[in-house]
């Protein structure tokens, strides 16, 4: 089975594995107070051109989301996101488990709009309602779309107008950065939000996310929050080693670019084969609609993720990732053309 269902089917990039292997028998202090974490933090601040930031690590995305959101919100506040936002649909209530409501707004192409957000935030609330205390977006979004620089800027302006911090979930950030359509660089992102995280798990690391508090006031006592959420890794250096490697010699960029080149190839192939798309995504998640017969044929060799049942057709998800092999993409395109 050749797996295209997601971008975390493999271990980690060879460079990361090499670094983990080389440091394996070193003796260091625990809980992320080691020199590798220190190095990784410096590298990230440098690449983001954000020297005042505070950087902390978590093992996975659910952890990063709950730590950040529950650390910033007051008990009676909620986090605004769009209806299709990851924290609204795919976290088994992890946000609510911290006592906070997810305030879901309608999405346009999987995104919050500055206008929709402003309309929502401008309505005064009273003590019978949850107060919006943070805005959450992801780059790319749950459906693979991208916020343009201009959109991000406008959304951040709205957030600042209403004094509500903006948090950007970057679980797949490498694939946003590598997308042809992207015009949001890391430094631009850092300037246009209060907190974001750089995804490692889906982008070349074995596991790990780097949380960047560009507004370092919001990181007050954050290590207490990380521990309380079971996310203070005993061997914290594992996260430092991985992120230091990903941000050496532009590896993070390179991994994203590689995946996006193959994603473009898949999209091109689907287009040539006349396969329609359920959502049009500029990043590494691709949502083809297959007729049942063709799909069944393909699923003998390839795994995809199920997205929606459309009667006699099904929308599926194909992901490329840093580990995708070009020969597998070529085979897939050939087989799709044959099957449909």
State yes or no: cis peptide before 140, omega within 30 of 0.
yes
CB of 325 vs a second copy, minimal distance in Å:
9
Contacts to a second copy from residues 38-67, by CB under 8 A: 59-63, 66
Q: Which of 109, 190, 101, 106 is CA-nearest to residue 147?
A: 109
CB of 92 vs a second copy, minimal distance in Å:
4
Between residues 172 and 184, which has the closer beta carbon with respect to a second copy? Answer: 172
Contact flag: residue 201 with a second copy (CB under 8 A): yes
Contact flag: residue 301 with a second copy (CB under 8 A): no
Contacts to a second copy from residues 94-133, by CB under 8 A: 94, 96-102, 104, 127-131
Among 203, 233, 259, 275, binds a second copy (CB under 8 A): 233
Between residues 24 and 51, which has the closer beta carbon with respect to a second copy? Answer: 24
Q: What is the DSSP string of 83-101?
A: TT-HHHHSSTTTTGGGT--
Contact flag: residue 157 with a second copy (CB under 8 A): no
Contacts to a second copy from residues 77-96, by CB under 8 A: 78, 89-94, 96
Euclidean distance between CA atoms 266 and 246, whole angstroms: 25
**Residue owning tokens 């093992």:** 59
Q: How many other CB atoms are there within 10 angstroms of residue 299's CB atom?
A: 14
Euclidean distance between CA atoms 244 and 3, whole angstroms: 28
Between residues 75 and 274, which has the closer beta carbon with respect to a second copy? Answer: 75
CB of 207 vs a second copy, minimal distance in Å:
6
Between residues 120 and 188, which has the closer beta carbon with respect to a second copy? Answer: 120
Q: How far is CA 30 from CA 37, 80, 96, 236, in A?
A: 10, 35, 30, 6
Contacts to a second copy from residues 309-328, by CB under 8 A: 323
Between residues 284 and 323, which has the closer beta carbon with respect to a second copy? Answer: 323
Between residues 33 and 46, which has the closer beta carbon with respect to a second copy? Answer: 33
Burial class (CB in 10 A: 0-12, 13-18, 19+), 14: exposed
């Amino acid at each position: 089975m050749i797996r295209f269902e997601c971008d975390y089917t493999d271990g980690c990039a060879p460079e990361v594995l090499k670094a983990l292997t080389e440091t394996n028998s070193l003796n260091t202090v625990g809980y992320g107070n080691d020199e590798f974490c220190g190095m990784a933090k410096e590298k990230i601040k440098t690449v983001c051109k954000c020297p005042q930031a505070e950087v902390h690590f978590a093992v996975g995305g659910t952890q990063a989301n709950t730590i950040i959101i529950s650390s910033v919100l007051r008990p009676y506040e909620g986090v605004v996101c769009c209806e299709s936002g990851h924290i609204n649909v795919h976290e088994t209530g992890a946000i609510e488990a911290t006592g906070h409501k997810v305030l879901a707004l309608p999405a346009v192409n999987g995104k919050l709009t500055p206008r929709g957000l402003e309309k929502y935030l401008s309505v005064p609330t009273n003590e019978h309602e949850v107060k919006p205390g943070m805005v959450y977006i992801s780059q790319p979004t749950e459906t693979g779309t991208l916020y343009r620089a201009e959109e991000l800027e406008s959304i951040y302006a709205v957030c600042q107008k209403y004094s509500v911090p903006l948090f950007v979930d970057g679980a797949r950030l490498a694939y946003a950065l590598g997308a042809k359509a992207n015009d949001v660089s890391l430094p631009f992102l850092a300037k246009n939000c209060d907190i974001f995280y750089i995804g490692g798990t889906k982008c070349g690391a074995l596991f790990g996310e780097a949380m960047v508090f560009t507004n370092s006031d919001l990181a007050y006592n954050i290590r207490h929050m990380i521990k309380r959420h079971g996310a203070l890794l005993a061997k914290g250096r594992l996260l430092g080693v991985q992120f230091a490697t990903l941000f050496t010699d532009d590896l993070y960029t390179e991994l994203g670019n590689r995946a996006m080149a193959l994603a473009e190839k898949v999209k091109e192939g689907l287009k040539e084969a006349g396969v329609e798309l359920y959502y049009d995504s500029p990043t590494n998640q691709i949502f083809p609609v297959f007729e049942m017969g063709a799909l069944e044929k393909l699923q003998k060799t390839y795994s995809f993720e199920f997205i929606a049942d459309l009667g006699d057709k099904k929308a599926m998800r194909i992901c490329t990732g840093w580990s995708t092999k070009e020969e597998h993409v070529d085979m897939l395109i050939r087989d799709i053309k044959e099957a449909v």
